[in-house]
Structure 1
Amino acid sequence: MKTNAFDVAARYVYPSLRRRLVEILRGKGLKQTEIGELLYITQSAVSRYLRMDRGALIDVSKFPDIDARVMALAERIVRESPTEYEIHSELVRISLEMLGRGYVCSLHSQLDPEVDPAKCRVCLELFG
């Protein structure tokens, strides 16, 4: 295994969750600058998420349970303006949930052909 689960989470899962969060906030009529301020990222980063230049490998909306968590986070962000750390903490929790449910196994095996999803139970056992 050349690519471990944490690499996959950091490089692909977390950015995909953030991209989905940006999409949801944009759907609420917020401007890119407003979204950037709420998420503590630049307007250009928001633009890259919306153009699918970032976080495009995983379509989070395909996982209704995860998508519901991201939608709830978006609502909380609009309502409460949580700190950068609170947002990050929740995105990490959701990332680990995706790993623990096995949603990322096929992507992991595509990124690293040495990973055999039929044999690997690391994420399921650690985060499931």
Structure 2
Amino acid sequence: MRFPSEIVVDRFLPTARAMLARALADRGLTQQEIADHLGVTQAAVSKYVSGDVAVEERFSEDPRLQRAVDRVAAGFADGSMDAYEALGEFLEVVRAFEDRGPICAIHEEQVPSLEGLGCDLCVRGYDESVGTERAVLSAVRKATRLLEDETAMVALVPNVGTNVGMALPDAEDELDVAAVPGRIHAMRGRIDVPANPEFGGSEHVARTILAARSVDPSVRAALNLATEEAVLAAARDRGIDPIEFDAGYDDRRERLVTVFRERGEVPKVIYHEGAFGIEPITYVFGSDAVDATRLAIELARDAST
């Protein structure tokens, strides 16, 4: 467990001090004068100026910190800025870095369970909605692990890639649906998941889920596969009656809602046979990402036997 304040102390502060020390040295201040401004020893300033202190490049190369250093260095050099004002400049940078900035990125690396949450926990504090988002992201991550371990799914990954998505309970648009950005592909006989799930990570899978849950709120997840007759037959053998729908993308969400309402339910499997420039795709629905993925895997296994 790591707090963002630890990153500020361990990485941001040494980087900002080193950058400011060098900027002040370039303006002709002595090392002792620099030490007085920074509140450190002259020996520490010597290390900063000589480059003996490691800096975090994600901070030092960020224009926001560079501008703050320039303003503070100029203010210290001509006497127009005091320590209070300088702290204000750097605290503004810290706040920006903590809110979806480089401090947030480093924090996610050190605390993987924060990935995809946009630093909501640290910046806005814990609340129930964030807990719900975590649960959705966790379900999609678990679903992708199931896919990675299943060889029967490799042959059913479309050329455009597959994805598994799950919506928040009150989802309204694509940003309320978590999925894998960049899609999931088959490579060298195995499933490759390129990234952790994020909200807004899918467009087509998300729209399909939103159409389904607008008719049946218990349906919150889906996974897309290549359309294969063996998979559709496996679904029918399980008592599932797949719906065929038009492959066009225009108004697909609205058209699917109409199809589901005419059927009077959202079936576990829907499909289309493709169109010009559109690959034939099948969608498998579930109450959550794991549920949809497990059904897809079962259908894939049945289809391969």
Q: TM-score, normalised by structure 1?
A: 0.74
Asked if structure 1 preserves the Cα contact closer than 8 Å seen for 2:21 and 2:45, the reply is yes
**Structure 1 residue 54 displacement after superposition:** 3.7
Q: 1:61–1:20: structure 2 CA closer, same or farther, 3 Å change rule? A: same
Residue 117 (structure 1) aligned to one of 115, 118, 122: 115
Q: State the match for 2:20 in structure 1.
A: 21
**Structure 1 residue 87 displacement after superposition:** 3.1
Give the share of equivalent positions with the same residue, in percent.
Answer: 23
Greater Cα offset, 89-98 or 10-19: 89-98
- The unaligned stretches of length 5 or more in structure 2 are 125-305
Asked if structure 2 preserves the Cα contact closer than 8 Å seen for 1:5 and 1:123, the reply is no
Asked if structure 1 preserves the Cα contact closer than 8 Å seen for 2:32 and 2:42, the reply is yes
Count of residue correspondences: 124
Q: Distance in 1 between matches of 2:99 and 2:121?
A: 5
Q: TM-score, normalised by structure 2?
A: 0.35
Q: Distance in 2 between matches of 1:31 and 1:85?
A: 21
Q: State the match for 1:80 in structure 2.
A: 79
Q: 5 Å matches for 1:1-128? A: 2-54=1-53, 56-58=55-57, 60-80=59-79, 82-110=81-109, 112-122=110-120, 125-126=123-124
- RMSD of aligned C-alpha atoms? 2.7
Q: Distance in 1 between matches of 2:58 and 2:50?
A: 14
Q: 1:74–1:37: structure 2 CA closer, same or farther, 3 Å change rule? A: same
Measured against aligned partners, the alpha-carbon deviations of 1:43-96 in whole angstroms (never above 9, x if no partner) come to 112122234444523453411122112111111111226444443343233222
Q: 1:58–1:74: structure 2 CA closer, same or farther, 3 Å change rule? A: same
Runs of 4+ in structure 1 over 6 Å off: none
Asked if structure 1 preserves the Cα contact closer than 8 Å seen for 2:18 and 2:48, the reply is yes
Q: 1:25–1:41: structure 2 CA closer, same or farther, 3 Å change rule? A: same
Q: 1:117–1:26: structure 2 CA closer, same or farther, 3 Å change rule? A: farther
Asked if structure 2 preserves the Cα contact closer than 8 Å seen for 1:21 and 1:74, the reply is yes
Q: Which has the larger radius of gyration?
A: 2
Relative contact order higher in (CA < 8 Å, ≥ 6 apart): 1
Higher helix share: 1
